[in-house]
């Protein structure tokens, strides 16, 4: 069934995928999806109704027992098939991600690889799902065992910045362990998920095992209200993550809710500066700063400040901003007019609160894409811990440059933040690296690495307002989340 052409200019009104069929939503509510580089409308996404969401949950529940009884080794065959299909479609997937999200095609290729990585790991479920036992564990002649069993129907509510990868943090593990799944993509970037489901449709999963419901409040509230939803995986902003966590508690659902971030990268005087700058470029400017792992505060310790700042400004000025699908682009647009407005508001706030604006990305024009939501690299110097730009998630290509005396001061600043997603140190000293890793209270710690992205076989961690729950996405944590064990 030809549901989508890879990188078509207009994908039309998107569909839901329920019980192995493509279905039109009858909802009277729909939103436009725009290409952030051109601002052209490239699709309409329906906001599915409560009844439609309920129907998806109930058909999944009805089909569950048959999937639960399918041997894990048989379930994994669908994953091996999906992997083959995704490898073949690798470039098409990346192009769609780049077009609808705006990130560079290279970033989108990396994201596509992360999706496939999770399929790879979930294909090993025959080892991952094993339980454990103890002979004579209850008493002499009475053995005891733990069986890792699936629970039923789960759902994921996903953000706009990784339209490919984030659903893959969850659904492969849920489905491989014998559960049913519903993906609700971000209404800002629903096309990638539509395309992924075209591929999933070819992989041989039985009807009802994996479903797609486009939408927003009505869909999410129905997940909470329906008795057959066993748990919710969420990734998005902190206020929504907090609401999801609280509501899931009230409604008796399992929950894992990943929130926002404000990440600090610390550069010690002994850091190898060229390599450091090169590595940090991807952290601060990759995905136009719209990553939960993006660097936002750059902390220079002692006399590294001047040489670091000079190299950073040179590199920032040379960064090529353009349409993500252009192979030469090093940074694409932010997702929407509203997102751009928000970032520009933060830049103005930085100026108003007294930070020194050394590089101003506000007026940037990209030839051929004059209407696009572009913001150029922006660098503030003399940022102090009390400033709004030092504390809040900006989610744009804005660098807050701090000068601090020593590592203690930097760690104290990092710990003042309500967020705790990631932090990195750049140093040649093993002692300092170890000390930073040991003391820093964030979920993902980097040593000479500015993007501390957990591979599929590790959990994607986060502390404080960056994560609500105990079991994370990916790897063994995901297997446990989707099981009774």
Tell me which residues are annotated as active site.
292
- Rule CB under 6 A: say whether 485 interacts with ligand NAD: no
Q: List the one residue from 48, 214, 233, 258 that touches ligand NAD (CB under 6 A).
A: 258
* Region from 98-106, 214-222, 326-334, 340-348 binding ligand NAD, contact rule CB under 6 A: 214-222
Residue 302 CB, shortest distance to ligand NAD, in Å, is: 30
Assess 158 for contact with ligand NAD (CB under 6 A).
Answer: yes
Q: Judged by CB under 6 A, does residue 183 bind ligand NAD?
A: no
Distance CA 430, CA 424 (A): 14
Using CB under 6 A as the binding criterion, the count of chain residues that bind ligand NAD stands at: 27
Contact status: 178 vs ligand NAD (CB under 6 A) = no
289 binds ligand NAD (CB under 6 A): no
Query: Would you count residue 192 as binding ligand NAD (CB under 6 A)?
Result: no
421 and 296 Cβ atoms separated by less than 8 Å: no
Closest to ligand NAD by CB, 381 or 465 = 465
The interface region with ligand NAD, picked from 139-147, 200-208, 213-221, 272-280 by CB under 6 A, is 213-221
User: Residue 428 and residue 144: Cα distance in Å, rounded?
Assistant: 50
Q: Which stretch in 68-76, 252-260, 312-320, 365-373 sits in contact with ligand NAD by CB under 6 A?
A: 252-260
Contact 334, 107 (CB under 8 A): no
Site residues (CB under 6 A) for ligand NAD, limited to 346-405 = 393, 395
Q: From the list 154, 160, 245, 369, which residue makes contact with ligand NAD (rule: CB under 6 A)?
A: 160
Question: Is 151 a binder of ligand NAD (CB under 6 A)?
Answer: no
Which residue(s) pair with 273 in the sheet?
none
CB of 48 or CB of 129, closer to ligand NAD:
48
Task: Decide if residue 247 touches ligand NAD (CB under 6 A).
Answer: no
Q: Does 447 bind ligand NAD (CB under 6 A)?
A: no
474 is a contact residue toward ligand NAD (CB under 6 A) = no
Q: What is the 3-state secondary structure (H, E, C) of the chain?
A: CCCCCCCCCCCCECCEEECCEEECCCCCCEEEEECCCCCCEEEEEECCCHHHHHHHHHHHHHHHHHHHCCCHHHHHHHHHHHHHHHHHCHHHHHHHHHHHHCCCHHHHHHHHHHHHHHHHHHCCHHHHCCCEEEEEEEECCEEEEECCEECCEEEEECCCCCCCHHHHCCHHHHHHCCCEEEEECCCCCCHHHHHHHHHHHHCCCCCCCEEECCCCHHHHHHHHHCCCEEEEEEECCHHHHHHHHHHHHHHCCEEEEECCCCEEEEECCCCCHHHHHHHHHHHHHHHHHCCCCCEEEEEEEHHHHHHHHHHHHHHHHCCCECCCCCCCCCECCCCCHHHHHHHHHHHHHHHHCCCEEEECCCCCCCCCCCCCCCCCCEEEECCCCCCHHHHCCCCCCEEEEEEECCHHHHHHHHHHCCEECEEEEECCCHHHHHHHHHHCCCCEEEECCCCCCCCCCCCECCEECCEECCCCECHHHHHHHCEEC
Q: Applying CB under 6 A, which of residues 186, 192, 211, 233 lies at the interface with ligand NAD?
A: 186
Indicate whether 477 belongs to the interface with ligand NAD (CB under 6 A): no
Q: Are 159 and 133 in contact (CB under 8 A)?
A: no
Nearer to ligand NAD, 50 or 216 (CB): 216
Contacts with ligand NAD, 404-423, as mask; x by CB under 6 A: -----------------x--
The answer to the question of residue 220 lying near ligand NAD (CB under 6 A) is yes
Report the alpha-carbon distance of residue 413 to residue 442 in Å, rounded. Answer: 12
**Is residue 240 involved in binding ligand NAD (CB under 6 A)?**
yes
Minimal distance, residue 385 CB to ligand NAD, in Å: 20
Q: Does 157 bind ligand NAD (CB under 6 A)?
A: yes
If one asks whether residue 48 binds ligand NAD (CB under 6 A), the answer comes out as no
| Contact between 29 and ligand NAD per CB under 6 A | no
- Closest residue (Cβ) to ligand NAD? 236
Please pick, from the candidates 18, 43, 86, 261, the single residue that binds ligand NAD as defined by CB under 6 A. Answer: 261
Question: What track of x and - describes contact with ligand NAD for positions 58 through 87 (by CB under 6 A)?
Answer: ------------------------------
> Binding residues for ligand NAD, per CB under 6 A?
157-162, 184, 186-187, 216-217, 220, 235-237, 240, 258-261, 292, 393, 395, 421, 460, 462, 466
């Amino acid at each position: 069934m030809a549901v989508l052409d890879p990188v078509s200019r207009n994908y039309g009104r998107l569909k839901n995928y329920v019980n192995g069929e493509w279905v039109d939503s009858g909802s009277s509510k729909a939103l436009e999806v725009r290409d952030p580089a051109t601002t052209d409308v490239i699709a309409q996404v329906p906001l599915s109704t409560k009844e439609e969401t309920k129907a998806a949950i109930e058909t999944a529940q009805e089909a569950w027992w048959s999937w639960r009884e399918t041997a894990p080794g048989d379930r994994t065959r669908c994953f091996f098939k999906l992997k083959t299909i995704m490898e073949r479609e690798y470039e098409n997937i990346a192009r769609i991600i780049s077009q609808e999200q705006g990130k560079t095609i290279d970033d989108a290729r990396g994201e596509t690889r992360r999706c496939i990585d999770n399929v790879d790991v979930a294909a090993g479920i025959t080892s991952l799902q094993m339980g454990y036992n103890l002979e004579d564990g209850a008493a002499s002649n009475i053995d005891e065992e733990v069986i890792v069993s699936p629970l039923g129907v789960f759902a994921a509510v996903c953000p706009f910045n990784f339209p490919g990868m984030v659903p893959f943090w969850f659904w492969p593990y849920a489905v491989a362990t014998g559960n049913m799944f519903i993906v609700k993509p971000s209404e800002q970037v629903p096309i990638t998920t539509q395309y992924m489901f075209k591929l999933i449709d070819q992989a041989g999963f039985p009807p009802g095992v994996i479903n797609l419901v486009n939408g927003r409040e009505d869909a999410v509230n129905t997940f909470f209200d329906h008795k057959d939803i066993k748990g919710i995986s969420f990734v998005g902003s902190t206020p929504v993550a907090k609401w999801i966590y609280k509501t899931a508690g009230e409604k008796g659902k399992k929950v894992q809710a990943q929130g926002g971030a404000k990440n600090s990268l610390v550069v010690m005087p002994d850091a190898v500066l060229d390599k450091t700058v090169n590595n940090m470029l991807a952290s601060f400017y990759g995905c136009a700063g719209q990553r939960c792992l993006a660097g936002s505060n750059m902390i220079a310790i002692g006399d590294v400040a001047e040489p670091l700042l000079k190299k950073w400004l040179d590199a920032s000025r040379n960064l090529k901003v353009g349409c993500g699908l252009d192979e030469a682009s090093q940074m694409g647009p932010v997702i929407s007019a509203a997102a751009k407005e928000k970032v520009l508001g933060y830049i103005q706030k930085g100026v108003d609160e007294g930070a020194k604006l050394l590089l101003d990305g506000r007026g940037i024009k990209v030839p051929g894409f004059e209407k696009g939501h572009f913001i150029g690299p922006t660098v503030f110097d003399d940022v102090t811990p009390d400033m709004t730009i030092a504390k809040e998630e900006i989610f744009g290509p804005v660098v807050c440059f701090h000068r601090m005396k020593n590592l203690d001061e930097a760690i104290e600043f990092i710990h003042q933040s309500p967020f705790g997603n990631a932090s990195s140190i750049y140093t040649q000293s093993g002692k300092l690296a170890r000390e930073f890793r040991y003391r820093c209270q964030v979920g993902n710690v980097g040593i000479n690495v500015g993007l501390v992205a957990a591979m599929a076989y590790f959990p994607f961690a986060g502390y404080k307002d960056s994560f609500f729950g105990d079991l994370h996405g990916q790897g063994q944590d995901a297997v446990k989340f989707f099981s009774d064990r």
